[in-house]
Chains A and B, each alone.
Chain A
Amino acid sequence: MVTLTIDGKKVTVPETFTLLEASKKLDIYIPTLCYHPKITPFGGCRLCIVEIKGMKNPVTACTTPVSEGMEVTTTSPYLERLRKTILELILSDHPNDCMVCEKAGDCTLQELAYFYGIREMRFEGERRRYTKRDDNPFIERELEKCIMCGRCVRVCAEVQGVSAIDFGYRGFDLKICTPFEKDLSCEFCGQCVAVCPTGALRGKMWTQKGRQKGVKEVDTICPYCGVGCNITLHVRRNEVIRVTSKEDTVNEGWLCVKGRFGYSFISSPDRLTKPLIRIAPKGCEAADPRRAGESPYPLSPTSYESFREATWDEALDYIAERLKEIKEKYGPSAIGALASARCTNEENYLFQKFIRAVIGTNNIDHCARY
């Protein structure tokens, strides 16, 4: 443990702490853009500069380790002037179209520009321009808004282990690139979108669905698999318009492509809301007229069989009856069961127990069995 002084206050922290972490412990706020608590410090945005007694130039709090007896100043007119210059420089190469930006209200850059009261542009000059691309349904890259904090690059490499993107080019032309500048073609987990402090990366499905106002956040669990990630649904007018995850959850805020972007089923007209019982095969030729042409997917031959709506009681009774009949007539091995990865571990456990102990067969399998 080392003891140091930050803005006149003494604090004792482990020697592995950085100045930023130590300041956080004292509840001292230091502005940051490229810093993210879950990934390696970068030191690129330079906003977290602080002064250390005895050192000529300010240092970045996010990268500087604490040491015994250090005397740190996190704010002074001089430091604030430097921070303001940095923000002015960033904004001198930023579209500043907060009016229509999806990130408005939730944007770190916007918030800092507000707190530093940046109105006039001291530095006019060239701005980056890029043509839009990326033929994928999930992630929109608006590179003009990128501030090169590198959070996306690091989260992709360090958290997801994919390294689908990295820095390319130099100087003012620096940009976040895919290999050979091809279209983004990764697993689309959207971790990069989650950590982007500006509107440079966003979900394509979120476009013009609503920002902060009138949006209710509902914490729930992702229904896709047994991992049980915590997710937060952003609901506006009873419609889920976005899914995020909070940092202090079991999944630390990270999600996969399904959890983050696979929520359209919620209000899909294709969604099953009641049990359906299949009508006997002789009715096969009559396709359900209600479903024709609605589904984006070609109907499989079995889809042409008709179903009728039923109550849960009726459906379960029907299943129990048929299982019994089959077991009696053909024996337990005539029955096979498939479990689902979308159920919890407990549900899957119970299901195989039911098949093995009640039905009496080992014909049980699971979609996630490799």
Chain B
Amino acid sequence: MKSIIVKVCMGTGGIAVGGKEVLDAFREELALAGISASLGENCLTHRVGCRGLCARDVLVDVVVDNEKVTYQYIKPQMVRRIVNEHIIGGNTIKEWVVDEDYHNFYRKQIRLVLSRCGSIDPEDISSYINAGGYEALRKALFSMTPDEVLEEIKRANLRGRGGAGFPAGVKWEYTKKSPGKIKYIIANGDEGDPGAFMDRSVMEGDPHSLIEGMIICAYAIGAQMGFIYVRQEYPLAVERLEKAVSQARERGLLGKGILGKDFDFDIRLKLGAGAFVCGEETALIASIEGKRGMPRSRPPFPAERGLWGMPTVINNVETLANVPYIIKNGADWFLSIGTKSSPGTKVFSLTGKIKNTGLIEVPMGITLREIIYDIGGGILGDRKFKAVQTGGPSGGCIPAEYLDLPVDFDSLTSVGSIMGSGGMVVLDETDCMVNVAKFFLEFTQAESCGKCVPCRIGTRRLLEILERITGGKGKPEDIELLEDLSHDIKATSLCGLGQTAPNPVLSTIKYFRDEYEAHIYDLKCPSKVCKDLITYFIGDSCTGCTACLRVCPAGAITGEKKKLHKINQDLCIKCGACLDVCKFNAVLKA
């Protein structure tokens, strides 16, 4: 009797390109073929969480008698052939199997937090338990004292994965020592950086690892109540977390007398309403309390006075998801991964001009080059690498000269960027760095809560200066003004949002000053991105096919069939539609 398991990626990325339809198709085809009937329980169709390489979705694992074959780019209409040829016929469909690149993507990764994402069913607690889940909790509860648990996390030097890298164990200890009858734990799942989906994948793909981490933390510090603050823009994460919490409650892993011990702890979900600033811990706490999500000054820190004035541990989702692994395998094991100052792994969302966009987990200390070229497969179109933007909108741009920089909390800070929550946007030669800075400032200034002056008005003024420069109206003193204002905003802002918002400006000025100068003095955008500084024209290779003429929304292109076309510069709105549609590379930018 054959054992057959089909695993379909049902992360948000997978669902977006039709994962659900593929899964349904498998169920239907398998039923039609009578396989389910004849093999019964041995034929399983699983939905699994994100496995990282979203660019290849829908990814499907077909496991026949423990022999796994992974297919990529699967669509529902391809399912019948897989069932007939592979599952019934026993012949792998070679042209659909993932290529070497797929394996390269995983080769340099160490998947710890993501180890179960993509292999277990996130909506079924037994799937987690069968994969070794809740063993760490048992170990903590039955063979360790709360202090021993705390000591283990401290010794492991687990640093906060949300951005600042503050040691989680120290935070726990402060909270534990702070006087207060009630203590709270908050998991910060308000992942708001554009292009970041690390925490989402954990919550969607392996929600119980977060819950287990929270229970262990509660045991260590003596907390009674936990909150998972998750963005309502993550409906799948919310749904799966809700299921996971209620399943854990049914199994006696949450609630009163956990696993028969005299230990009570429960978890509630709190949905964020879409404010980026609510990722800041004090704003997040205000939001849970039902107030407007505005940060407050620290000290006092949440460890002393947090939710409803009580000592509160607030950790990022990824940080808490690391906890079960540390308790299960020990601090020494954890310390053996990564670097001395930043042990363990870090999950990054790799996006931008890179071949293998997706979610990766790498040991700390890996170089940017390894991430971008070995895991990421290099730059799209094999163009020239220009910079990598790390840490989301509050991070900085790191140029090519630092490609061999080992990635950890301290090294990224030393070159003017930050680890942040782990966003990594790769930029190539077609990206204008002034425009990149402007893009991130557009985001941060709009997401400022407005409470403090430097962030509310300062970031707006930064943006306006950047708009002036990209619009060809920059003044010679603007670069200095940007630097001065950036510095003052960083020094005087209330919370992390304002304190880091100028980073994209400062780092691009530091490494790409020439681009700023070109915009201001030569009125040129070297990367030919800034609309006001470029013109479109049609070169000699034009065949007169009229494609551009038909697509131009401004009616700016004139020309007869089979004759050279011309762009009227007065009418051209520089949308680039002509360039996109031209098959002869005749439309040029200057």
Residue A58 CB within 8 A of the other chain: yes
User: How far is B454's CA from A43's CA once the two chains are assembled, in angstroms?
Assistant: 12
Contact A172 B452 (CB under 8 A): no
Contact B453 A90 (CB under 8 A): yes
Contact residue among B292, B445, B457, B485 (Cβ-Cβ distance under 8 Å from A90)? B457
Contact B299 A167 (CB under 8 A): no
Residue A101 CB within 8 A of the other chain: no
Beyond A126-B464, A166-B292, 12 additional pairs, beta carbon < 8 A: A46-B454, A57-B492, A60-B494, A64-B299, A90-B457, A93-B457, A125-B460, A148-B450, A167-B451, A170-B450, A171-B447, A171-B460
Name the interface residues of B466-507: CB closer than 8 Å to any CB of A: 481, 484-485, 488, 490-494, 499
Kindly provide the distance from the CB of B215 to the nearest chain A CB, expressed in whole angstroms: 33
Binary CB contact string for chain A from 53 to 87 against chain B (1 if under 8 A, 0 otherwise): 00001111001110000000000000001100110
Whether A89 touches B461, Cβ cut-off 8 Å, given contacts A123-B485, A171-B448, is: yes
Residue A49 CB within 8 A of the other chain: yes
Closest 6 A-B residue pairs measured CB to CB? Answer: A174-B450, A63-B297, A43-B297, A89-B457, A125-B464, A85-B488
Residue B456 CB within 8 A of the other chain: yes
Name the interface residues of B40-99: CB closer than 8 Å to any CB of A: none
Residue B381 CB within 8 A of the other chain: no
Residues from chain A with a CB closer than 8 A to the CB of B492 are 46, 49, 57-58, 82, 85-86
- Give the A interface residue count (CB, 8 A): 38
Which of A46, A64, A125, A150 gathers most chain B CB within 10 Å?
Answer: A46
Residue B290 CB within 8 A of the other chain: no
Residues from chain B with a CB closer than 8 A to the CB of A93 are 457
Residues from chain B with a CB closer than 8 A to the CB of A42 are 451
Contact B499 A57 (CB under 8 A): yes
Which of A86, A122, A172 gathers most chain B CB within 10 Å?
Answer: A172
Residues from chain A with a CB closer than 8 A to the CB of B297 are 41, 43, 59-60, 63-64
Residue B294 CB within 8 A of the other chain: yes
Residue A92 CB within 8 A of the other chain: yes
Contact B446 A171 (CB under 8 A): yes
Contact A148 B456 (CB under 8 A): yes
Closest to A67 in B: B299
Closest to B446 in A: A171
Contact A65 B300 (CB under 8 A): yes
Contact B452 A43 (CB under 8 A): yes
Contact A172 B456 (CB under 8 A): yes
Residue B296 CB within 8 A of the other chain: yes
29 contacts between A and B (CB under 8 A): A41-B297, A42-B451, A43-B296, A43-B297, A44-B453, A46-B454, A46-B493, A49-B492, A57-B492, A64-B299, A81-B488, A82-B488, A85-B485, A86-B488, A89-B453, A89-B458, A92-B461, A123-B461, A147-B453, A166-B292, A170-B449, A170-B450, A171-B446, A171-B449, A171-B456, A171-B459, A172-B450, A172-B456, A174-B456
User: How far is B462's CA from A126's CA once the two chains are assembled, in angstroms?
Assistant: 12
Whether A170 touches B446, Cβ cut-off 8 Å, given contacts A43-B296, A57-B491, is: yes
Residues from chain A with a CB closer than 8 A to the CB of B445 are 171-172
Contact B450 A171 (CB under 8 A): yes
Binary CB contact string for chain A from 199 to 235 against chain B (1 if under 8 A, 0 otherwise): 0000000000000000000000000000000000000
Contact A169 B450 (CB under 8 A): yes
Closest to B449 in A: A170
Contact A58 B491 (CB under 8 A): yes
Q: Which residues of A contact B (CB under 8 A)?
A: 41-46, 49, 57-60, 63-65, 81-82, 85-86, 89-90, 92-93, 122-126, 147-148, 150, 166-167, 169-174
Closest to A169 in B: B450
Residue B275 CB within 8 A of the other chain: yes
Which of A43, A44, A63 gathers most chain B CB within 10 Å?
Answer: A44
Which of B449, B453, B488 gathers most chain A CB within 10 Å?
Answer: B453
User: How far is B454's CA from A174's CA once the two chains are assembled, in angstroms?
Assistant: 13
Kindly provide the distance from the CB of A175 to the nearest chain B CB, expressed in whole angstroms: 9
Contact residue among B275, B294, B453, B461 (Cβ-Cβ distance under 8 Å from A46)? B453
Contact B460 A126 (CB under 8 A): yes
Name the interface residues of B115-166: CB closer than 8 Å to any CB of A: none
Residues from chain B with a CB closer than 8 A to the CB of A90 are 453, 457
Whether A170 touches B457, Cβ cut-off 8 Å, given contacts A57-B491, A82-B488, is: no
Residues from chain B with a CB closer than 8 A to the CB of A126 are 460, 464
User: How far is B300's CA from A20's CA once the two chains are assembled, in angstroms?
Assistant: 16
Residues from chain B with a CB closer than 8 A to the CB of A89 are 453-454, 457-458, 461
Residues from chain A with a CB closer than 8 A to the CB of B296 are 43, 63
Residues from chain B with a CB closer than 8 A to the CB of A125 are 460-461, 464
Contact A148 B451 (CB under 8 A): yes
Name the interface residues of B265-291: CB closer than 8 Å to any CB of A: 275, 277
Contact B461 A44 (CB under 8 A): no
Residues from chain B with a CB closer than 8 A to the CB of A166 are 292
Residues from chain A with a CB closer than 8 A to the CB of B456 are 148, 171-172, 174
Contact residue among A57, A58, A63, A86 (Cβ-Cβ distance under 8 Å from B453)? A86
User: How far is B491's CA from A49's CA once the two chains are assembled, in angstroms?
Assistant: 10
Contact A45 B453 (CB under 8 A): yes
Residues from chain A with a CB closer than 8 A to the CB of B490 are 57
Kindly provide the distance from the CB of A34 to the nearest chain B CB, expressed in whole angstroms: 9
Kindly provide the distance from the CB of A195 to the nearest chain B CB, expressed in whole angstroms: 17
Closest to A122 in B: B481
User: How far is B300's CA from A124's CA once the two chains are assembled, in angstroms?
Assistant: 36
Kindly provide the distance from the CB of A42 to the nearest chain B CB, expressed in whole angstroms: 8
Whether A44 touches B451, Cβ cut-off 8 Å, given contacts A58-B491, A63-B297, is: yes
User: How far is B445's CA from A58's CA once the two chains are assembled, in angstroms?
Assistant: 22
Contact A174 B449 (CB under 8 A): yes
User: How far is B493's CA from A65's CA once the two chains are assembled, in angstroms?
Assistant: 18
Residues from chain A with a CB closer than 8 A to the CB of B499 are 57
Residues from chain A with a CB closer than 8 A to the CB of B484 are 85
Closest to B293 in A: A170
Residues from chain B with a CB closer than 8 A to the CB of A59 are 297
Residues from chain B with a CB closer than 8 A to the CB of A124 are 464
Binary CB contact string for chain B from 283 to 321 against chain A (1 if under 8 A, 0 otherwise): 000000000101011011000000000000000000000
User: How far is B456's CA from A82's CA once the two chains are assembled, in angstroms?
Assistant: 15
Kindly provide the distance from the CB of A312 to the nearest chain B CB, expressed in whole angstroms: 58
